[in-house]
Amino acid sequence: MRRLHYHRVDVFTDRAFGGNPLAVFTNGRGVSTETMQAIAKEFNLSETTFVLPPDDARHDWRVRIFTPGSELPMAGHPTVGTSFVLAREHLVRRDAKETTIILEEGVGPVPVRVEFSSGEPVFAEMSQPLPTFGPRLEDRRAAAAMLSLDENDIDDGLPLEVVSCGVPFLYVPLKSLDAAHRARPRADLMEGMRDVPPGVFVLTREVEGEGSTVHSRMFAPGLGITEDPATGAASGPLGCYLVRYGIVPRAASAGIVSEQGIEMGRPSLIHIRIESEGDGEITGVKVGGQCHFAGEGFIEV
């Protein structure tokens, strides 16, 4: 039997029992892919990460990310939370107010900027790949049905579109906060929809929290995630969607705050920065937030 040490953090929150929980194994050396997947299924969190030495010596660490059902090439809250744990455990430089580390993930090198206060990590922000847009879903009635909503709940002034910054999600704009609260995923209908990725992201411009830009929910029952309390990989494309369609004005660096997880009782705040050039082309996608250390332990495998 081998005893593996893990850390538990809540990501995109500054308090216990908020945000998105994550398990981080800072020493994944010698652990097989099958065992990593079995551990992720055992923990049954939306993601579990395993840290390994980098393949390229110019980078800091290699990170593998698993849902209970499969491995992911990239994910937001695992990247932010793993960076926080590495900084907290003195596995990256902490001798300045901030540092940037490079994590190797399935999509390639991912830069993460970590801020410190009194020597401790307080904020982490990852860079995501530039967005790709499309295809669009034209059947609004079918989209509403797979969310247990009425077609009139969907905002007819915005497209239903797949956007990706490494991981694709379908973005479904809703007219109201009430519609967002009422949304319930229909896994049977989602699986039968063409051009619909496993993750379906609903958003509305009506918000609950002062300072929030958008209210969000993400459903991925096909990945074993009925609902996710905070989805970093979907938040970069969300920011790009909001900027592209004028919900948030274009700027050299447009700041966005997405509130998510409220319906689950795990409120999360995800900070998004979308950088653009003068001609409006998106040139940078940043997603970050705070983390709360929840504890640590061992598992024997």
Active site residues per annotation: 47
Q: What backbone phi and psi angles, to 5 degrees, belong to 222?
A: -65, -20
CA dist list (Å): 176 to 10, 244, 255, 265: 28, 21, 22, 19
* Strand spans (E) along 167-267: 168-173, 199-204, 214-220, 225-228, 253-260
Pairing, β 61-66 against β 98-105: parallel
User: Distance of CA 152 to CAs 174, 175, 183, 188, Å?
Assistant: 9, 8, 13, 22
CA atoms of 155 and 174, how far apart (whole Å): 5
Distance CA 70, CA 225 (A): 11
Q: Are 216 and 239 in contact (CB under 8 A)?
A: no
Beta strands in 229-281 (DSSP E): 253-260, 268-276
Cβ 258 vs Cβ 214: under 8 Å: yes
Are the beta carbons of 21 and 45 closer than 8 angstroms? yes
| Token digits of residue 54 | 């980098």
Amino acid making up residue 14: D
Q: Is 73 within 8 Å of 228 (Cβ atoms)?
A: no
